[in-house]
Structure 1
Amino acid sequence: MRIHHLNKVAALLAVMAMLAVMPAMAVEQGATPVWITATGIDRLDPAADTSNLVPSPLQAEQGKASPRGFSPGQLLTALANQFMDIRYQRGGRKPSTGFDCSGFVRYVFKLGVGVELPNTSAMQYKSGTEVARNDLRSGDLVFFRTRGKRISHVGIYLEDGRFIHAPSSGKRVSVSSLSEPYWSRRYAGGRRPQVLAGHEMMATPNQS
């Protein structure tokens, strides 16, 4: 079953509305990816195997303008925002125990789109596609060198230079800016995980 063949998938705004009321602490590892339940794909054919699906934009009918499609990047950032203020915990991998930076990123991608990223920020940096700072999109990963020359921190890019992350011991999941001196000096680059590559939002052009 391919997502772009499903003409009953809910629009992105409906997905965002559902995520906005989702209790952050009610989700745990192993749950069905949020994008599957939020879009209702699992209800279209309850017997279908959705374990290997990854989100794709809706395809426009031939000869018609492209509709607003499903954006995994925006879904991921909406989901990440649900975990604001979860405490930092070194080695933490879920909300009930707290997160470290790479654990936070892995949890959001696993729960949101069913993709398992590498365990550490350094390994995550080596995967995906390199993205220039000016080309960052929602859901991309941003990396930093906070301990010498090696990659040691990661966050999820939101928009307008902002990113969400689990900062360090004694702090909580929060939003920071790439323009802040501390993060600007330590910025190492951006990466687009494979699940996001090629999945740009498809918006319907304004008709005059």
Structure 2
Amino acid sequence: MYGTSIVPMFHHALPALLVCLALSACGPLPGRPPDAPFRTEVPPPNPRGLDVAIFALGLVETGYRFGGKNPESGLDCSGMVSYVFDQAAGLKLTGSAAEIARKGRPVEASRLRPGDLVFFNTRNQSLSHVGIYIGDNRFVHAPSTNGKVRADRLNQGWFASRFETARSYFD
């Protein structure tokens, strides 16, 4: 039910996701002053990154479980990332959020693309939480609060002040 067949089901959402990506340059990101000039040279989205973002959106409302690695039993943040990257892009990203961060290429927050990973300090511990960037300053993640996978904004709310870094696994 949650295999790669979910990706084609969400390709109808691709135009909307691309619009969100185009609009994502319109809002400030963490660590960027609100009056700083916008970059106009944002790299184009990677097709595999788009697949990852779309697949992650399909998991919204999936239950949370500490140590969870699949939607049937529940997902935690690193389990969700591992599952999505394996199913949607054929990439094996395993381990904790910190271990996953060490395997990626650093990306400036102003150059995030769908499918990049965003990392947070949520327990007074560096790189303790991870989510998947989907465009428009939004990311999908599996927080322990509220018990479900959800989408949040990078530049608003509790996670905005806890953003640490971003990584890419494409290109």
Tell me if TM exceeds 0.5.
Answer: yes
Q: Which runs of 5+ in 2 are unaligned?
A: 9-44
SS in 1 for 2:114: coil
1:166 to 2:142 alignment:
yes
Task: Give the residue type in structure 2 aligned to 1:111.
Answer: Q
Q: Give the corresponding residue for 1:27.
A: 2
Query: 2:70 — aligned with what?
Result: 94
**Equivalent-residue separation in structure 1 for 2:51 and 2:151 (angstroms):** 17
Match of 1:112 among 88, 96, 105: 88
* Aligned AA (1:117): L
Please report the RMSD computed on the Cα atoms of aligned residues, expressed in angstroms: 2.2
Distance 1:92 1:104 in 2: 8
3-state secondary structure, aligned to 2:160: helix
Q: Does 1:71 align with 2:29?
A: no
Unaligned ranges ≥5, structure 1: 1-25, 39-68, 198-208
Matches within 5 A, 1:3-14: none
How far off its partner does 1:170 sit?
Answer: 3.9
- Identical counterparts, % of pairs: 35
- Aligned pair in 2 of structure 1 residues 70, 165: CA closer, same or farther (>3 Å)? closer
1:83 to 59, 70, 80: 59
Aligned length: 136
- Runs (4+) of structure 1 exceeding 2 A deviation are none
Flag the structure with higher helix content.
2
CA displacement at 1:181 relative to structure 2:
3.4
Q: Is the 8 A contact 1:166 1:174 kept in 2?
A: yes
Deviation at 1:182, TM superposition (A): 1.3
Trace 1:138-149 onto structure 2 (pairs within 5 A).
Answer: 138-149=114-125
Q: Give the aligned partner of residue 22 of structure 2.
A: none
For normalisation by structure 1, the TM-score amounts to 0.61
Larger Rg: 1
Residue of structure 2 equivalent to 1:54: none
Higher relative contact order (CA 8 A, sep 6+): 2
